[in-house]
Chains A and B, each alone.
Chain A
Amino acid sequence: MKKSEKSKRAKLANLIMQAPLAVWMIAFVLAPFALLAFMSFMTKGPLGIIQYKPTIANYKEMFNPVYATVIKQSLVVAVWTTILTVLMGYPLASFIAKVKAKTSSLLTVLLMLPLWVSGLVVLYSFVILLNSSGVINSFLMSIHLIKEPLELLYNNFAIIVGMIYMFLPFAVLPMYSSIEKLDPGLIEASKDLGAGPVKTFFKVTLPLTSPGIFAAVILTFIPCIGYYMVTDMLGGGTSLMIGNLIYRQFTVSRDWPFGAALSMVLALIIFLMVFIYTKLGGDLDDLGA
Chain B
Amino acid sequence: MKRKIIAGFMVAVLAAGCITGCGSSSGDGTESASAGDTLNVLTWEGDVADDQISGFEKEYGVKVNVTYVEDTNTILAKMLQGSNEYDVIDVESAYVKSFVDADLLAPLDYDAITNYDNIEPSYVEKGPIGDEDLKYSLPISGPLYTGVVVNKETCPIEITSFKDLADPALEGQLWCTNATISLYAGALKALGYSPNSSDENELNEAQELLQKIKPNVKAFGASSISSLETGDCSVAYTYDYNMLMCDDKENWDKFEIIPDTTLGYTQYWTIAASSKKQKLANEFINYAYTEDAAAAIANEWGGVPAVKQDLIKDDVDSDYFDNPIMQQFADMWPDHEDLAASDEQTAAMDTLYNELMSGQ
Contact = CB atoms under 8 A, between A and B. Distances in A.
Interface of A: 46-49, 64-67, 69-70, 73, 101-102, 105, 109, 127, 131-134, 153-154, 232-233, 236-240, 244-245, 248, 250-256
Interface stretch (B163-171, B214-222, B264-272): B214-222
Interface string B46-74: 00000000000000000000000001011
Contact of A245 (B81, B343, B354): B354
B226 interface: yes
A239 B358 contact: yes
A5 B226 CA distance: 70
Contacts of B217: 236, 238
A62 to B, nearest CB: 12
Given A133-B230, A134-B230, 8 more contacts: A46-B343, A64-B351, A105-B2, A153-B232, A154-B219, A236-B219, A238-B219, A240-B354
B323 interface: no
A69 B76 contact: no
Contacts of B80: 47-49
A47 B98 contact: yes
Given A105-B2, A254-B76, A239 B232 contact: no
A94 to B, nearest CB: 18
Contact of A101 (B1, B221, B359, B360): B1
B358 A70 contact: yes
Contacts of B350: 248, 252-253, 255
B155 to A, nearest CB: 16
B73 A105 contact: no
Interface of B is mostly: helix
Contact of B358 (A69, A105, A237, A254): A69
A3 to B, nearest CB: 35
Given A66-B360, A154-B232, A238 B346 contact: no
A210 B53 CA distance: 56
B36 interface: no
26 contacts: A46-B343, A47-B76, A47-B80, A47-B101, A48-B76, A66-B358, A69-B358, A69-B360, A73-B359, A102-B2, A105-B2, A109-B9, A131-B226, A132-B232, A154-B218, A236-B217, A236-B218, A236-B220, A237-B220, A238-B357, A248-B350, A250-B77, A252-B180, A252-B346, A252-B350, A255-B347
A256 B226 CA distance: 33
B205 to A, nearest CB: 19
9 A-B pairs with least C-beta separation? A236-B219, A237-B220, A251-B73, A240-B357, A131-B230, A154-B219, A253-B350, A69-B358, A133-B230
Contact of B230 (A102, A132, A240, A251): A132
B232 to A, nearest CB: 5
B330 interface: no
A73 B358 contact: yes
A281 B180 CA distance: 46
B102 interface: yes
A132 B226 CA distance: 11
A238 B161 CA distance: 23
Contacts of B218: 154, 236
Given A236-B221, A237-B178, A253 B346 contact: yes
Given A47-B102, A132-B231, A251-B73, A237 B1 contact: no
A254 B2 contact: no
A232 B343 contact: no
Interface in B231-263: 231-232
A248 B355 CA distance: 14
A175 to B, nearest CB: 18
Given A105-B6, A133-B231, A239 B359 contact: yes
A47 B343 CA distance: 6
A47 B350 CA distance: 14
Contacts of A134: 230
Contacts of A238: 214, 217, 219-220, 357
A283 B346 CA distance: 47
B73 A237 contact: no
A232 B178 CA distance: 10
B73 to A, nearest CB: 4
A65 B221 CA distance: 25
Interface in B103-150: none
A232 B9 CA distance: 34
Contacts of B343: 46-47
A102 B73 CA distance: 48
A239 B357 contact: yes
A69 B359 contact: yes
Nearest to A124: B226
Contacts of A245: 354
